[in-house]
Amino acid sequence: MKKISVVVALVAVAAFSANAFASAPKGEALFKEKCAVCHPDGGNIMNPKETLKGLKDVKFITGKIRSGGNGMTKFDAKTVSDADSKLLADYIIKTFKK
Residues of the shown chain interacting with ligand HEC in the complex, contacts defined by CB under 6 A: 34-35, 37-39, 44, 46-47, 50-52, 55, 61, 64-65, 69-73, 75, 80, 88
Q: Give 23 or 44: the residue with its C-beta nearer to ligand HEC.
A: 44
Residue 92: closest CA among 70, 68, 72, 65? 65
Reference 51, options 41, 60, 37; nearest CA is 41
What's the closest the beta carbon of residue 22 comes to ligand HEC, in angstroms? 19
- Residue 81 has φ and ψ, to the nearest 5°, of -65, 165
Q: Which CB atom, from 17 or from 47, has the smaller least distance to ligand HEC?
A: 47
Q: Which amino acid is at 93?
A: I
- Can you tell me whether residue 69 is helix, strand or coil? strand
Q: Closest approach of Cβ 5 to ligand HEC, in Å? A: 45
Q: What's the closest the beta carbon of residue 26 comes to ligand HEC, in angstroms?
A: 13
**C-alpha 60, offset from chain centre:** 14
How far apart are CB 94 and ligand HEC at their closest, in Å? 13
